[in-house]
């Protein structure tokens, strides 16, 4: 049965337009091989939207994102917007976008194929074959908890979680584990924080209630950080709160040697959001050197979410084959190729996939 996906494309700032264009090119190439139509509509967001409309997240963009099947974001921000009032900065638009979509679960997969293991901060023998996902609660916790205050003499924030917030992110982690290797490590600080004690209680309850087939263990966040460095291949799915997830997902991203290869998805609301982990990298803008892998793999996550697993698998296979062939961008290899050349190499891999593969 044919399928049409309405995708709200937010290229954003810096290298965002370049990497989203590359991802779109690959996704369209794959879609042409299956009964799939990708209907792209581009909208201003972030700094580009500030320049065009005065706001980082214009109402027209909001409406389009909420009515789309998926939102595909490039990157936002840059020094030219750093001195704006905080309410009008690009990052404020990102928080508003997540809230508008109800995206409470951030998934960051980290995979280190043999072809990239030599780039890691860890020895290749320790990191090669790493395949983990950080499932981060995205809309609660200390970033949003009230009350909060900042005065010249005192400042405080509130790390607040409601049981229902923990329940829903736990379900996402357990369901993700069921599609992988069936193991969840829930990360908290239950020996110190009351919010973490509730977190652990609710995770255990959800596990007992509906996910006893999934292996569940618990770690304090400081130990989890150490174990990610010590033995990253021991992890499958890491479930954790907003603040801890922010830190651990960034730590995990160093395993692959470059932010340019790491995708992400923010799920759970009316419309899923997909974006590369990296920032806007203004110093690379317009030079045709940006690494599009993270954006391309974010496109694969989009297709998975849209029930197109074969197309998603083909994209991942073709990216892996391109990297394994030695074709890399300059962040991975000083003698690497430009963005457009790498993208075309991935597209050629797609073209070489037998027709029978797309009907599996």
Rounded mean pLDDT, 249-254: 90
Examine the residue annotation and report whether 189 is marked as an active-site residue of this protein. yes
Specify the pTM: 0.92
Q: Check pLDDT > 90 for residue 54.
A: yes
Could you tell me the fold of the domain covering 1-111+259-360? Answer: Isopropylmalate Dehydrogenase (3.40.718)
Rg (CA), the chain: 20
Catalytic residue among 189, 236, 304, 320: 189
Residues in the chain: 360
99 is catalytic: no
Query: Of 79-88, 273-282, 288-297, where does mean pLDDT reach its minimum?
Result: 79-88
Catalytic residue among 28, 99, 143, 167: 143
Residue 359's pLDDT is what? 65
Q: pLDDT above 90 covers what percent of the chain?
A: 89
Q: Which of 51, 213, 222, 333 is the catalytic position?
A: 222
- Taking only the tens place, the pLDDT of each residue in 140-182 is 999 989 999 999 999 999 999 999 999 999 999 999 999 999 9
pLDDT for position 64: 97
Tell me: the pLDDT tens digits for 188-220? Answer: 999 999 999 999 999 999 999 999 999 999 999
263 bridge partner residues: 276
User: For 79-129, what is each residue's pLDDT tens digit?
Assistant: 999 989 888 999 999 989 998 999 999 999 999 999 999 999 899 999 999
List strand residue ranges (DSSP E) for 94-224, in order: 105-111, 131-137, 149-150, 155-156, 183-188, 215-220
Catalytic status, residue 143: yes
Residue limits of CATH 3.40.718.10 in the chain: 1-111+259-360, 117-257
Active-site entry in 51, 250, 333, 351: 250
What's the pLDDT score for residue 356?
73
Active site residue 162: no
Task: Determine the pLDDT at residue 13.
Answer: 97
- Sign of the four-CA dihedral 242, 246, 249, 251: negative
Model confidence at 360, pLDDT cuts 50, 70, 90, reads low
Range 117-257 classified under CATH 3.30.365.10: no
85 is catalytic: no
Instruction: List, in order, residues 6 or more apart from 162 with CB less than 8 Å away.
Output: 140
User: pLDDT averaged over the chain?
Assistant: 95
Q: Looking at 236, 246, 304, 320, which residue is catalytic?
A: 246
Edge to edge, the sheet with strand 215-220 lists 36-42, 3-12, 70-75, 273-276, 263-267, 105-111, 131-137, 237-240, 183-188, 215-220
Distance, in Å, from the CA atom of 225 to the CA atom of 74, rounded to the nearest integer, reads 28
**CA pair distance 124, 121, nearest whole angstrom:** 9
Residue 59: CB atoms within 10 A of its CB come to 9
Assigned token pair, 151: 């005065």
């Amino acid at each position: 049965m044919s399928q049409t996906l309405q995708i709200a494309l937010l290229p954003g700032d810096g290298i965002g337009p370049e990497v989203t264009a590359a991802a779109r090119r690959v996704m369209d190439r794959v879609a042409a091989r299956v009964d799939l139509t990708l209907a792209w509509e581009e909208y201003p967001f972030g700094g580009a939207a500030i320049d065009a409309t005065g706001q980082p997240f214009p109402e027209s963009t909001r409406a389009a994102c909420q009515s789309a099947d998926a939102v595909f974001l490039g990157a936002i921000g840059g020094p030219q917007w750093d001195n704006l009032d905080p309410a009008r900065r690009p990052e404020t638009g990102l928080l508003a976008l997540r809230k508008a979509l109800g995206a409470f679960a951030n998934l960051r997969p980290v995979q280190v194929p043999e072809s990239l293991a030599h780039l890691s901060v860890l020895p290749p023998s320790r990191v090669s074959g790493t395949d983990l996902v950080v499932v981060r609660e995205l809309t609660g916790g200390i970033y949003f908890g009230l009350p909060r205050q900042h005065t010249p003499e005192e400042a405080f924030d509130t790390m607040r979680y409601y049981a229902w917030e923990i329940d829903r992110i736990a379900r996402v982690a357990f369901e993700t584990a069921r599609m992988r290797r069936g193991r969840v490590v829930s990360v908290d600080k239950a020996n110190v924080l009351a919010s973490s004690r509730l977190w652990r209680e609710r995770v255990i309850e959800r596990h007992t209630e509906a996910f006893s087939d999934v292996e569940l263990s618990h770690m304090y966040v400081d130990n989890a950080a150490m174990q990610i460095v010590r033995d990253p291949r021991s992890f499958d799915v890491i479930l954790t709160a907003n603040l801890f997830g922010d830190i651990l997902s960034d730590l995990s991203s160093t395993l692959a040697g470059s932010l340019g290869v790491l995708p992400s998805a923010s799920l759970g609301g009316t419309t899923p959001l997909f974006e590369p982990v990296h920032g806007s990298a203004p110093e690379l803008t317009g030079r045709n050197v940006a690494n599009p892998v993270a954006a391309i793999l974010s496109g694969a996550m989009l297709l998975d979410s849209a029930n197109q697993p074969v197309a998603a698998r083909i994209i991942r296979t073709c990216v892996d084959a391109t990297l394994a062939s030695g074709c890399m961008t300059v962040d991975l290899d000083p003698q690497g190729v430009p963005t457009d050349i790498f993208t075309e190499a991935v597209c050629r891999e797609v073209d070489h996939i037998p027709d029978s593969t797309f009907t599996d």
